[in-house]
Amino acid sequence: MNNFIAFRFTDNDFHSSLREALEYIVYNATEELTLESWRVHVLRGMVAFNLIRRIDNWYAGQILRDHTEYCNNTLVVSVVAKLADLGDSFEGYVFDKNLQTVFYQGY
């Protein structure tokens, strides 16, 4: 049984946005999501939370497509049965499907 969904994003600048996106999805999802749906919604949430975090004139001119593409190419989503399956080098956030909680897992 796969108990966890792991979200690894190697750029620490986006960790707050990743966590916010995950927590928002956990709280607001209206049905059980497929792994691909998790990925799509997390990417959308990460980009949205990251873009609104910095409200100024310079950031308003940033291209949304480039931002989304970077996140899409960097985010790794996987399903695991136990946390040990993530390995010692994993750093990211994990959704516990049983407890419905999001937590940081790292070295």
Residues 31-64: tens digit of each pLDDT: 999 999 999 999 999 999 988 887 777 777 666 6
**pLDDT score for 1:** 67
- Range of 86's domain? 4-105
Q: How far apart are CA 60 and CA 75, in angstroms?
A: 23
* 92, 12 Cβ separation under 8 angstroms: no
Please name which of 50, 47, 25 lies closest in space to residue 37, comparing C-alpha atoms.
25
* 86, 105 Cβ separation under 8 angstroms: yes
Please name which of 34, 16, 25 lies closest in space to residue 77, comparing C-alpha atoms.
34
For the chain, how many structural domains are there in total? 1
| Confidence band of 28 (pLDDT split at 50, 70, 90) | very high
* 78, 93 Cβ separation under 8 angstroms: no
Count CB neighbours of 34 within 10 A.
Answer: 9
**pLDDT score for 11:** 87
Dihedrals phi, psi of 92, to nearest 5 degrees: 170, -155
Reported pTM: 0.86
